[in-house]
Structure 1
């Protein structure tokens, strides 16, 4: 564990906050390791329904700490490095992952967002991926995920030219779901996480699986959805939802893990 990653749990939400404010939350191996452990731990904790990433101070994260990475290359042939563990944990997360981006977001601070389910930003947020500017290559599968989200032209501006996006531009490009006033960001993002945490966890997981599934033709996807829909109709979660509807009360999914 490291003091630069703060973890807190409340109302079904695990918040993982980057807290190296004097370095604009630049990530080190130890920070990646702590974030990976917290994210993996959330998957096995029935009390945690949603994970929220945030950054303290005026930055989400300035990306990788270059001095740390020059000393310890992020990828290893001797087994998964902390960076690889974090990337794998985020890509394979079964529970919803939300990001609240306030201020500077660079490199991994952008590419990780492409693997989150919901991204919210403050008006002061900026987004850049200056890999080629640093004579490096794109990472975290961003050469696939970024064009899929915002189209090849805008992705090329970011990945080739290292162009910076404002919060409003990121929202128009589809990287960000919604932009809030700076002072409202964490409150608004947390409220949406808590709303997610109150929903039926099995249904949420199925919806996330469908949203993240590889592309397929419409007929195949319709069949996949139909199979899950039928399974949902027989689930205890649906029985609770239907009962609540007829009894004119709010459903209680807290007993479902």
Structure 2
């Protein structure tokens, strides 16, 4: 399992890589635990100034591993998925993400907590929570409307409409679209930030993200609702339809 999240320190930079390409980097509870632990350790390690988050083999993440969620639903907020969401939303240092290919569900919502997000032209974002009988997470019900407006947020959170890299750039979710070596560009930006005065960087991040108490409150509210929805009849039908490759029937 350790191989499914690769945590590679290099000087002042910690690279976190989702490394489950055979499952399109779908995230399991064990992977969430490893991510949460890595972020917590990096937050407390004075040597680390920047964390980068990458996918593998042209895919960022297909979101939650639904089979894993179905078999071991996280029914309280102490579970790994919610520990990860708390860790990333409260992370005091700089987070730089590089996105290629699919970024589904949490693959998109975690980006709302990153300070810089670089995308390849292939990046495609979607948040199909409602389609699965669930609700948004990672404070996306707060942060996405603030970023793009309530009507466009409804388009993506209620209808589940996907959007491409150009749209993400226009929305402000993506900092830049990189033609060529995305990972090299992520690394270059991380190195540039790591070379700056670290305390000034941390204070600037705190000032930029001054609504942290509100964000944490929404993370907690969504987590409780999300946990409840996992055992709902709607989620059971949506998950069954997904695995059986059929249209769901909600009566």
**Cα distance in 2 for residues equivalent to 1:72 and 1:148:** 33
Counterpart in the other structure of 1:87: 85
Question: Displacement of 1:152 after TM fit?
Answer: 1.3
Look up the match of 2:169: 171
In structure 2, what is the equivalent of residue 138 of structure 1? 136
**Which of these residues, 90, 102, 106, is aligned with residue 104 of structure 1?**
102
1:200 aligns with 2:197: yes
Quick one: distance in 2 between partners of 1:94 and 1:188?
22
What whole-Å deviation, never above 9, does each CA across 1:78-120 have from its counterpart, x for those lacking one? x611111101111111101111111110000011101111111
Q: State the TM-score, normalizing by the size of structure 2.
A: 0.82
Counterpart selection for 1:212 from 209, 213, 220:
209
Q: For residue 235 of structure 1, what is the aligned residue in structure 2?
A: none
Q: Contact 1:6/1:16 (CA < 8 Å) preserved in 2?
A: yes
| C-alpha distance in structure 2 between counterparts of 1:47 and 1:86, whole Å | 21
Matched, 1:120 2:118: yes
The answer on whether the counterparts of 1:131 and 1:159 sit within 8 Å (CA) in structure 2 is: yes
SS in 2 for 1:61: coil
Determine the structure 1 residue equivalent to 2:37: 37
CA distance in structure 1 between the aligned counterparts of 2:131 and 2:85, rounded to whole angstroms: 23
- Counterpart Cα distance in 2 of 1:21 and 1:203: 37
Q: Is the 8 A contact 1:54 1:100 kept in 2?
A: yes
Q: Secondary structure at the match of 2:74?
A: coil
Structure 2 unmatched runs, 5+:
213-251
Hey, what's the Cα distance between the residues in 2 that align with 1:41 and 1:119? 22
| Distance in 2 between residues matched to 1:142 and 1:46, nearest whole Å | 30
Q: Look up the SS of the partner of 2:98 in the other structure.
A: strand
Cα distance in 2 for residues equivalent to 1:127 and 1:214 = 25
Distance 2:209 2:49 in 1: 18
2-side partners of 1:149 and 1:199: how far apart? 27
Q: Paired residues, what number? A: 212
| Corresponding position of 1:52 | 52
What corresponds to 2:146 in structure 1? 148
Which of these two proteins has the greater Rg computed from alpha carbons? 1
Structure with higher RCO (Cα < 8 A, 6+ apart): 2
- State the alpha-carbon separation in 2 of the partners of residues 60 and 69 from structure 1: 19
**TM-score w.r.t. length of structure 1:** 0.80
CA RMSD of aligned residues (A): 1.3
Corresponding residue of 2:183: 186
String of CA shifts for 1:59-90, please: whole Å, max 9, x gaps.
Answer: 100000001001111341xx611111101111
